[in-house]
Amino acid sequence: MIFNPINMDNWPRKPYFDHYLNQVRCTYSVTANIDITQLRLEVKSKGMKMYPVLIHMLTTVVNQHREFRTCFDLDGRLGFWDRMSPSFTIFHDDDQTFSSIWTLYSEDFDVFYNRYLDDMSRYGNVKGFMTKPNEPPNTFSISSIPWVSFTGFNLNIYNEATYLLPIFTIGKFFEQDGKILLPLSGQFHHAVCDGYHAGVLYNELQLRADTCEHWLLHR
Protein backbone atom coordinates (compact mmCIF):
# COMPACT_ATOMS: atom_id res chain seq x y z
CA MET A 1 0.00 0.00 0.00
CA ILE A 2 1.29 3.42 -0.99
CA PHE A 3 0.06 6.79 0.25
CA ASN A 4 0.49 9.57 -2.29
CA PRO A 5 0.54 13.08 -0.75
CA ILE A 6 -1.35 15.75 -2.68
CA ASN A 7 0.46 18.95 -3.64
CA MET A 8 -2.20 21.51 -2.81
CA ASP A 9 -0.59 24.18 -5.03
CA ASN A 10 -1.10 22.03 -8.13
CA TRP A 11 -4.41 20.42 -7.15
CA PRO A 12 -7.34 21.61 -9.29
CA ARG A 13 -9.75 20.75 -6.49
CA LYS A 14 -8.06 23.01 -3.92
CA PRO A 15 -10.77 25.78 -3.81
CA TYR A 16 -13.55 23.20 -3.44
CA PHE A 17 -11.62 21.32 -0.77
CA ASP A 18 -10.97 24.52 1.18
CA HIS A 19 -14.61 25.58 0.95
CA TYR A 20 -16.18 22.28 2.02
CA LEU A 21 -13.62 21.51 4.71
CA ASN A 22 -12.87 24.94 6.18
CA GLN A 23 -15.74 27.27 5.24
CA VAL A 24 -18.89 25.16 4.99
CA ARG A 25 -17.88 21.73 6.23
CA CYS A 26 -20.19 19.37 4.39
CA THR A 27 -20.87 15.67 4.02
CA TYR A 28 -23.80 14.18 2.15
CA SER A 29 -25.59 10.88 1.62
CA VAL A 30 -26.89 9.24 -1.54
CA THR A 31 -29.21 6.23 -1.49
CA ALA A 32 -30.08 4.42 -4.70
CA ASN A 33 -31.34 1.00 -5.75
CA ILE A 34 -28.99 -1.27 -7.68
CA ASP A 35 -30.65 -3.79 -9.99
CA ILE A 36 -29.05 -7.09 -8.95
CA THR A 37 -31.43 -9.38 -10.85
CA GLN A 38 -28.70 -10.92 -13.01
CA LEU A 39 -26.14 -10.84 -10.21
CA ARG A 40 -28.42 -12.77 -7.85
CA LEU A 41 -29.05 -15.42 -10.51
CA GLU A 42 -25.32 -15.87 -11.08
CA VAL A 43 -24.55 -16.01 -7.36
CA LYS A 44 -27.28 -18.57 -6.69
CA SER A 45 -26.26 -20.74 -9.66
CA LYS A 46 -22.67 -20.87 -8.41
CA GLY A 47 -23.63 -21.52 -4.78
CA MET A 48 -21.83 -18.40 -3.54
CA LYS A 49 -22.53 -15.96 -0.73
CA MET A 50 -23.95 -12.60 -1.83
CA TYR A 51 -22.27 -10.42 0.81
CA PRO A 52 -18.64 -10.93 -0.32
CA VAL A 53 -19.75 -10.53 -3.93
CA LEU A 54 -21.21 -7.10 -3.13
CA ILE A 55 -18.15 -6.18 -1.05
CA HIS A 56 -15.84 -7.03 -3.94
CA MET A 57 -18.01 -5.12 -6.41
CA LEU A 58 -17.97 -2.01 -4.20
CA THR A 59 -14.24 -2.19 -3.55
CA THR A 60 -13.43 -2.61 -7.23
CA VAL A 61 -15.32 0.56 -8.13
CA VAL A 62 -13.85 2.50 -5.20
CA ASN A 63 -10.37 1.55 -6.37
CA GLN A 64 -11.04 2.90 -9.84
CA HIS A 65 -11.46 6.49 -8.61
CA ARG A 66 -9.02 8.62 -6.64
CA GLU A 67 -11.85 10.68 -5.12
CA PHE A 68 -12.93 7.69 -3.00
CA ARG A 69 -9.36 6.96 -1.84
CA THR A 70 -8.50 10.48 -0.70
CA CYS A 71 -8.03 11.07 3.04
CA PHE A 72 -5.67 12.29 5.73
CA ASP A 73 -2.95 9.86 6.80
CA LEU A 74 -1.85 9.29 10.37
CA ASP A 75 0.50 12.29 10.11
CA GLY A 76 -2.31 14.58 8.99
CA ARG A 77 -1.15 14.79 5.38
CA LEU A 78 -3.76 14.93 2.63
CA GLY A 79 -3.31 12.35 -0.10
CA PHE A 80 -4.71 9.20 -1.62
CA TRP A 81 -4.02 5.50 -1.29
CA ASP A 82 -3.03 3.55 -4.36
CA ARG A 83 -5.50 0.83 -3.31
CA MET A 84 -8.15 0.30 -0.67
CA SER A 85 -9.35 -2.85 1.10
CA PRO A 86 -12.80 -3.27 2.67
CA SER A 87 -13.61 -3.33 6.36
CA PHE A 88 -17.08 -4.81 6.78
CA THR A 89 -19.48 -5.69 9.56
CA ILE A 90 -20.82 -9.15 10.39
CA PHE A 91 -23.76 -9.95 12.66
CA HIS A 92 -23.86 -12.39 15.58
CA ASP A 93 -27.31 -13.97 15.79
CA ASP A 94 -26.95 -15.27 19.34
CA ASP A 95 -26.52 -11.91 21.07
CA GLN A 96 -27.43 -9.43 18.31
CA THR A 97 -24.02 -7.74 18.33
CA PHE A 98 -21.75 -7.11 15.37
CA SER A 99 -18.05 -7.19 14.62
CA SER A 100 -15.90 -5.50 12.02
CA ILE A 101 -13.53 -7.58 9.89
CA TRP A 102 -11.22 -6.53 7.07
CA THR A 103 -10.14 -8.60 4.08
CA LEU A 104 -7.21 -7.80 1.81
CA TYR A 105 -8.53 -6.81 -1.61
CA SER A 106 -7.58 -8.48 -4.89
CA GLU A 107 -8.88 -7.59 -8.33
CA ASP A 108 -9.19 -11.32 -8.94
CA PHE A 109 -12.58 -12.22 -7.48
CA ASP A 110 -11.64 -15.84 -6.72
CA VAL A 111 -8.63 -14.71 -4.68
CA PHE A 112 -10.70 -12.20 -2.72
CA TYR A 113 -13.59 -14.62 -2.18
CA ASN A 114 -11.27 -17.26 -0.73
CA ARG A 115 -9.64 -14.67 1.52
CA TYR A 116 -13.10 -13.66 2.73
CA LEU A 117 -14.01 -17.29 3.50
CA ASP A 118 -10.74 -17.75 5.37
CA ASP A 119 -11.30 -14.59 7.43
CA MET A 120 -14.84 -15.69 8.27
CA SER A 121 -13.56 -19.11 9.31
CA ARG A 122 -10.97 -17.52 11.60
CA TYR A 123 -12.84 -14.51 12.97
CA GLY A 124 -16.53 -14.92 12.11
CA ASN A 125 -17.45 -16.24 15.56
CA VAL A 126 -15.11 -14.00 17.54
CA LYS A 127 -16.99 -11.39 19.56
CA GLY A 128 -15.84 -7.81 19.79
CA PHE A 129 -15.94 -4.60 17.82
CA MET A 130 -12.81 -5.18 15.68
CA THR A 131 -11.84 -8.83 15.82
CA LYS A 132 -9.25 -9.29 13.06
CA PRO A 133 -5.97 -7.68 14.16
CA ASN A 134 -3.61 -5.44 12.23
CA GLU A 135 -6.15 -3.60 10.13
CA PRO A 136 -4.17 -1.44 7.70
CA PRO A 137 -4.90 2.29 7.34
CA ASN A 138 -6.04 1.94 3.71
CA THR A 139 -9.47 0.48 4.48
CA PHE A 140 -12.94 1.90 4.01
CA SER A 141 -16.17 0.87 5.75
CA ILE A 142 -19.07 -1.27 4.53
CA SER A 143 -21.99 -2.30 6.72
CA SER A 144 -25.24 -4.13 6.11
CA ILE A 145 -28.78 -3.74 7.41
CA PRO A 146 -30.36 -6.82 5.76
CA TRP A 147 -33.62 -6.42 7.68
CA VAL A 148 -34.76 -3.15 6.07
CA SER A 149 -35.31 -2.15 2.44
CA PHE A 150 -34.62 1.48 3.30
CA THR A 151 -35.20 4.41 0.96
CA GLY A 152 -32.72 6.66 2.73
CA PHE A 153 -29.93 6.33 5.27
CA ASN A 154 -27.73 8.94 6.91
CA LEU A 155 -24.76 8.70 9.26
CA ASN A 156 -23.98 11.46 11.75
CA ILE A 157 -20.26 11.38 12.51
CA TYR A 158 -19.04 13.72 15.25
CA ASN A 159 -15.32 13.94 14.59
CA GLU A 160 -15.24 17.51 13.27
CA ALA A 161 -16.24 16.04 9.87
CA THR A 162 -12.68 15.42 8.73
CA TYR A 163 -13.22 11.76 7.83
CA LEU A 164 -13.01 11.93 4.03
CA LEU A 165 -13.43 8.30 2.91
CA PRO A 166 -16.80 6.95 1.79
CA ILE A 167 -18.93 4.76 4.04
CA PHE A 168 -21.41 2.33 2.47
CA THR A 169 -24.50 0.69 3.96
CA ILE A 170 -26.29 -2.17 2.18
CA GLY A 171 -30.00 -2.73 2.75
CA LYS A 172 -32.38 -5.63 2.22
CA PHE A 173 -33.00 -6.43 -1.44
CA PHE A 174 -36.59 -6.59 -2.64
CA GLU A 175 -38.58 -7.43 -5.77
CA GLN A 176 -40.29 -4.76 -7.84
CA ASP A 177 -41.63 -4.97 -11.42
CA GLY A 178 -39.91 -8.30 -11.92
CA LYS A 179 -36.51 -6.98 -10.82
CA ILE A 180 -34.46 -7.60 -7.68
CA LEU A 181 -33.36 -4.25 -6.27
CA LEU A 182 -30.74 -3.60 -3.61
CA PRO A 183 -30.79 -0.34 -1.58
CA LEU A 184 -27.30 1.06 -1.23
CA SER A 185 -26.43 4.17 0.75
CA GLY A 186 -23.14 6.01 0.42
CA GLN A 187 -21.86 8.69 2.78
CA PHE A 188 -19.44 11.10 1.05
CA HIS A 189 -17.42 14.17 1.97
CA HIS A 190 -18.03 17.13 -0.32
CA ALA A 191 -14.44 18.29 0.15
CA VAL A 192 -13.14 15.43 -1.99
CA CYS A 193 -16.08 14.32 -4.15
CA ASP A 194 -19.18 15.87 -5.63
CA GLY A 195 -22.54 14.56 -6.76
CA TYR A 196 -21.01 13.81 -10.14
CA HIS A 197 -18.51 11.41 -8.60
CA ALA A 198 -21.22 9.69 -6.56
CA GLY A 199 -23.26 9.32 -9.75
CA VAL A 200 -20.31 7.75 -11.56
CA LEU A 201 -19.88 5.29 -8.71
CA TYR A 202 -23.51 4.16 -8.74
CA ASN A 203 -23.55 3.86 -12.53
CA GLU A 204 -20.39 1.77 -12.51
CA LEU A 205 -21.79 -0.46 -9.77
CA GLN A 206 -24.86 -1.05 -11.93
CA LEU A 207 -22.65 -1.87 -14.91
CA ARG A 208 -20.68 -4.41 -12.89
CA ALA A 209 -23.91 -5.99 -11.64
CA ASP A 210 -25.20 -6.22 -15.22
CA THR A 211 -21.96 -7.80 -16.50
CA CYS A 212 -21.26 -10.00 -13.48
CA GLU A 213 -20.92 -13.16 -15.58
CA HIS A 214 -17.56 -11.82 -16.81
CA TRP A 215 -15.90 -11.24 -13.44
CA LEU A 216 -17.59 -14.22 -11.73
CA LEU A 217 -16.53 -16.40 -14.66
CA HIS A 218 -14.07 -18.67 -12.88
CA ARG A 219 -16.14 -19.85 -9.94
For residues 25 and 203, what is the distance between their CA atoms, to the nearest angstrom? 27
For residues 182 and 84, what is the distance between their CA atoms, to the nearest angstrom? 23
Q: Taking CA 53 as the corner, what is the angle to CA 123 and CA 39, rounded to the nearest 5 degrees?
A: 155
For residues 174 and 172, what is the distance between their CA atoms, to the nearest angstrom? 6
Question: How many other C-beta atoms are found inside a 10 Å radius of the C-beta of residue 134?
Answer: 5
Give the DSSP H or E segment for 142: strand 139-144
Task: Just list the catalytic residues.
Answer: 190
β-bridge mates for residue 90, sequence order = 99
* Closest to 90 in 3D by CA, of 62, 49, 58: 49
Give 114-119's long-range contacts (Cβ < 8 A, gap of 24+).
116/52, 116/55, 117/52
